[in-house]
Structure 1
Amino acid sequence: MSINLPAENELGKSKELSFKMLKGKTILSPSPIGFWTKIHHDEIPDSKIIFQDKTKEYSEILHYSVLPFFTTNLTILDTQQQKYQLPSNHIIRLLKDKIAHQKFYACYLKQNKKRVMPLIEKLQDQWSKFD
């Protein structure tokens, strides 16, 4: 997970950030984001996270806001598929907390292996471009 900051934001001077450094900040986030919601609330309970559940509106807000927002390497895949566009005037800082780096596993029935492996391989290939 990374945090995207306006170029003039003081936190942008650090190469890596932590959830602790985001304490008290107001941050934009798409919704729903699954288990990330609990991580945000647990790791930065004093922050104000503004959730937006409409993709088009979220994209629009990002372009006109000076608020930081979270992204993952999956977000980058979403932007390639043009679900929304990220503003170009922000800098990306990796969150160094261990919990900000999640592993994902694919579970499937053995009889479906031939059917799901092409999808899993495609995701792995795309994902590796952003790690």
Structure 2
Amino acid sequence: MIDSYLWEELAVFSRTGTLTKTAEELNVTQPSVTRSMQKLEDDIGVKLFDRKANRIKLTPTGEMAAKEAEKLIDASETSVNRIKNFDRSQHFTILGSTSPGPIIMLNELKKNIGQQVQITGDIIPDKLVEPFLINNEADIILSDQEILSDKVESQYIGEERLQVNLDKFTFLANQKTVTFEQLKDMSFIVMNNIGLWKNIIQNYIPDAQFMYQEDRNSFTEITKHSSFPFFTTNLSQTNPFFKESLDENDDRIAIPISDESARVINYATYLTSQKSRLSPMIDKIRQQWPNNMAK
């Protein structure tokens, strides 16, 4: 078996092109790299390098070997990460989401779940849901996509429903619900990282202006000192940040948006092989899902 450090040195040499740069990057001596390259040739039994006075370069076979070295290194790193993630999953149930609302809800309800739980901090891209599960980077991922495959399946959890917080002295604030069409031409203060809701409000509210904020503190200050409407959902309302944005002196009232596109179904997606272990956790998430808008 060929030592992994030899593959690493070959890959670095292929990328840098010189023994000197290879030694510098790996923090070893140049003679050490020279010996490693010779040992690799001896171990494989083929010529990998074309050596001339003051110059060494890869042969075509050496170039092919360097590509294989990159694959082996990547595979090794992937395996190590999967092992570490699997070990973590033996001690914690790791929950993630493809949108911010479920993450907010899970973080707020974490203390009530009654098990060792970790919440992934970052939003998981839709296309990475299955790889995240397979690589043990998460045990359950909440998503608006129902996935059914040989390795992965989904269960219905609940709906996330959008509402708008309007100045209570406006005409629309007297209605039980509003539509996206009724919100046309208005200006809104919006947190930038709101996942799929960003495209929904931009696509369905005609001629609206959206003032996106990256910083939560800035968002809170603007909402406290202005009457700009903003959006929340039945999930984001579980966040203390929402309560800070709507203090007791705030003149806004939360009005549900009645359009079908203002409702997003969420599923819990997991490895089918882990279904029996994760079913109790899925049931707890479903039971604690906020089903009613704040009044």
TM-score by length of 2: 0.40
**Aligned-partner Cα distance in 1 for 2:279–2:192:** 27
Higher share in helix: 2
1:62 paired residue number: 223
- Provide the identity percentage: 29
**Aligned-partner Cα distance in 2 for 1:84–1:13:** 22
Greater relative contact order, per chain length (Cα 8 Å cut-off, separation 6+)? 1
RMSD: 2.1
Q: How many residues align?
A: 128
Supply the AA of the counterpart residue of 2:190. Answer: S
Matches within 5 A, 1:7-86: 7-79=168-240, 82=241, 85-86=244-245
User: Any gaps of 5 or more consecutive residues in structure 2?
Assistant: 1-161
Paired residue secondary structure (1:3): strand
Deviation at residue 117 of structure 1 after TM alignment: 4.5
Deviation at residue 36 of structure 1 after TM alignment: 0.8
Contact residue 55 and residue 84 of structure 1 kept, 8 A? no
Contact residue 59 and residue 84 of structure 1 kept, 8 A? no
2:255 paired residue number: 93
1:109 paired residue number: 271
Moved over 6 A (4+): none
Find out whether 1:130 has 2:292 as its counterpart.
yes
The change in CA–CA distance for 1:59 and 1:11 in structure 2 (over 3 A counts) is same
User: Any gaps of 5 or more consecutive residues in structure 1?
Assistant: none
**What whole-Å deviation, never above 9, does each CA across 1:41-87 have from its counterpart, x for those lacking one?**
110140001111212221222111201111101111222xx576231
Deviation at residue 111 of structure 1 after TM alignment: 3.2
**Aligned-partner Cα distance in 2 for 1:83–1:70:** 10
The change in CA–CA distance for 1:47 and 1:83 in structure 2 (over 3 A counts) is closer
TM-score by length of 1: 0.84
**Aligned-partner Cα distance in 1 for 2:166–2:199:** 22
Deviation at residue 128 of structure 1 after TM alignment: 3.3
**What whole-Å deviation, never above 9, does each CA across 1:75-111 have from its counterpart, x for those lacking one?**
11222xx576231421111101011011111111123
The change in CA–CA distance for 1:12 and 1:78 in structure 2 (over 3 A counts) is same
**Aligned-partner Cα distance in 2 for 1:19–1:78:** 24
Structure possessing the higher radius of gyration over alpha carbons:
2
Contact residue 63 and residue 86 of structure 1 kept, 8 A? yes
Contact residue 28 and residue 50 of structure 1 kept, 8 A? yes
